[in-house]
Amino acid sequence: MATQHQQVCKFLVPELVFGEGALAEAGYAARRLGARRAFVVTDDGVVEAGWPDLLAGYLRDVDLPFSRWSGLTPNPKDHEIAAGFEAYQASGCDVIIGLGGGSVIDAAKAIAVLSTNGGRILDYVGLDRVTRPIPPLLTIPTTAGTGSDVSQFCVITDTALNRKAVLVGRALVPDISITDPALLTTMPPWLAAATGLDALTHGIEAYVSRAASRLTDPHALQAVRLTGDNLERMVNSQTDEESRAAMAQASLSAGLAFTNAILGATHAMSHQVGGALDLPHGVVNAILLPHVIRFNATSDRYRPVAEALGIDTLGMDTDEIAYAVADDVRAMADRLDIPRGLGDLGVSEADLPGLARGTLDDVCLSTNPRDASLGDVTAIFAAAL
């Protein structure tokens, strides 16, 4: 029987444009996609930062007309996607540009799905439910961590069930992703910390995933190493260009890893908490990740992760290595002022049964390195409370 790393594997990836000043390529990228009129999806925070105005200038440079829509809140809601789709239909646009953090880019994907597949966005929850190709999609992240700009994932809040609904499929991979580290300069420190810890979670979960492969492992470990070396520097100094560029690359590498290796229990659980209480995804991940690592401690895949974080593993057994990684992640979160427990975010013991049941339906749980029952997930939530 073939081992995990002997099996045939796939690797989905957009065209990538990376580097300081890369935003200037946006107009040319949209034209390469055949754009006659672009639909720019963004949000009020990104508008306030000034990036959509700068993008508009680059679109005008190539004589590309555009419409702009920004009717989004963090953790995009199903009804917001419906409103964005209506705006897209009325705009006469043929290419979609997502400019913002993960919420904005997920919304851009969701609007694209409805434009060719119809129905409601929740009709497409799950794996490969989107059957018709979406319009050309260009993504431009303004945060360093979500990886949505290169992934086959789209996460939307189901407001009826108060949980995050996950769409997965190759149709959701953007055509072109532009990463410009300069766009990270307007992140407030709390957001830089939260999204950076999201990148770390992506790297670790992708590396230990059951779907990890020779193609995803280098990207996953690079994301872990770059985040460990640079996240705190970037959070503490917005003028540190080196750490900013490194975190932009960490986010990109983590996205390339997890879109192909999928994720694990941390994300499956985090989706439930974020959907129920509308909380920052990266913060919830950072709280849950050490507890999930301890649950997964029998996996022998944590040694390279530990080494990427600079942990000396000499003489340690498998469980000790995993626990050392969990402790290191928590120590980093402490230094970045991330709450220690879900209770600090408003989660109560009464919430745990519903959160645990929802976790079992999340696609990310299927690639966790250890099977998790309802009781296991409930116990992890309780430990993280």
What are the tens digits of pLDDT across the range 259-270? Answer: 999 999 999 999
Mean pLDDT by 10 residues, the chain (385 residues): 64 95 98 97 96 98 98 94 97 97 97 97 95 96 96 94 91 97 96 96 98 96 98 92 97 97 97 88 96 97 98 96 98 97 95 96 95 98 98
- pLDDT score for 6: 59
Contact 374/360 with Cβ under 8 angstroms?
yes
What is the per-residue pLDDT for 275? 86
Distance of CA 351 to the CA centre of its chain: 24
- Separation of alpha carbons 170 and 172, rounded Å: 5
Half-sphere exposure of 321 (CA within 13 A, CB side): 20
- pLDDT at residue 1 in the model: 39
Distance between CA atoms of 295 and 307, rounded to whole angstroms? 20
What is the sign of the dihedral through the CA atoms of 105, 108, 112 and 114?
A: positive
Q: What angle do CA 263, 264, 265 make, to 5 degrees?
A: 150
Distance CA 206, CA 222 (A): 12
Checking phi first, is residue 185 left (phi over 0); if not, alpha (psi -120 to 50) or beta? alpha
Which whole-number Å values give the CA distances from 367 to 18, 159, 163, 208, in the listed order?
30, 26, 20, 9
Distance, CA of 236 to CA of 75 (rounded, Å): 26
Domains of the chain: 15-183 (3.40.50.1970), 188-384 (1.20.1090.10)
Q: Which pLDDT does position 69 carry in this prediction?
A: 98
